[in-house]
Structure 1
């Protein structure tokens, strides 16, 4: 099923209204859709590098707005919508334990999920369910999704097609390393 969704998403990258389609995919990916907007962004930027920043900006705005939908699902409809979505993603067992620690780590959880391959929709729903501060959620989502989409756009704009393999295979790992270094830096400063 995921392969069919991936193929369907890739087919839309060449559509004349690809920017609107990207916005829709980025919006729904933040709350329910399993395919990340990167699969549309990459071929779109490779085809039109001069539009890289517009494409990344579109993905950012739509993703954060979609994240607000995920937040609303968690806050207002967790039992009827949020829990089944998380259960379908295999995250149902971890929800109770996750809830007890989530708001203490909320900024870092949203930042990490917004940048890495971890399903951002899980964090958006959990943020609403646990009652995370909406301001913290929005600001962190903007930072995280902005980093993710604009780094991809910048790499594609600068390096072009040769960087595509790196992005598709290793960027998640690079973002995880970045987060570990960032957290390590904060811990080191706090320890001084």
Structure 2
């Protein structure tokens, strides 16, 4: 079923209303939808590199707005909507354990989930559920999602189709390494 959904989303890449579909997918992916916007974003930029920045901007705005929906789900409807989403993702036991530490980590979970392949919807819902300050959530979401979408757009704009495999297979790992180095750097500065 997930493969059919993926193929269905991919079918919109060349559609005249592809930007609207991309906005809807980016919005939904931040709160409930399992397919990341990259599956539309990449072929759209490859087809029209001159629109790379517009496409990344649409992903950013829609993703942050969708993240606010995820935050609201966590804050106001966790039991009715959030818990079933986590159960479907197989994450319910882990989030209950992580809940105690979540706000102590401040912006880090939002930054890391916004950059890496970790399901962003998990963090948006948890942010509302745990009461992470809304301002911290919004600013960190803008930074993380902006970096993610604009780096992908820049790579595709500059290198075109040859970079596609790297983005699809290794960019998530590169973002994870970046976050580990960034976190390690802050840790060293804090304790030296």
1:138 matches 2:132: no
Aligned residue number for residue 125 of structure 2: 125
SS at match of 1:140: helix
Partner Cα distance (2:111, 2:139) in 1: 10
Aligned residue number for residue 46 of structure 1: 46
SS at match of 1:110: helix
Is the 1:29–1:36 contact (alpha carbons within 8 Å) kept by the matching residues of 2?
yes
Aligned residue number for residue 60 of structure 1: 60
TM-score w.r.t. the length of structure 2 is 0.99
Aligned length: 192
Q: Which runs of 5+ in 1 are unaligned?
A: none
SS at match of 1:33: coil
Is the 1:106–1:127 contact (alpha carbons within 8 Å) kept by the matching residues of 2?
no
Q: Which runs of 5+ in 2 are unaligned?
A: none
Aligned residue number for residue 181 of structure 1: 181
1:105 matches 2:98: no
SS at match of 2:65: helix
Is the 1:42–1:156 contact (alpha carbons within 8 Å) kept by the matching residues of 2?
yes
Partner Cα distance (1:157, 1:108) in 2: 29
TM-score w.r.t. the length of structure 1 is 0.99
Q: Residue 187 of structure 1: CA displacement?
A: 1.5
Displacement over 2 Å in runs of 4+: none
Where does 1:77-88 land on structure 2 (aligned, <5 Å)? 77-88=77-88
Q: CA RMSD in A?
A: 0.7
Q: Residue 189 of structure 1: CA displacement?
A: 1.7
Partner Cα distance (1:176, 1:110) in 2: 13
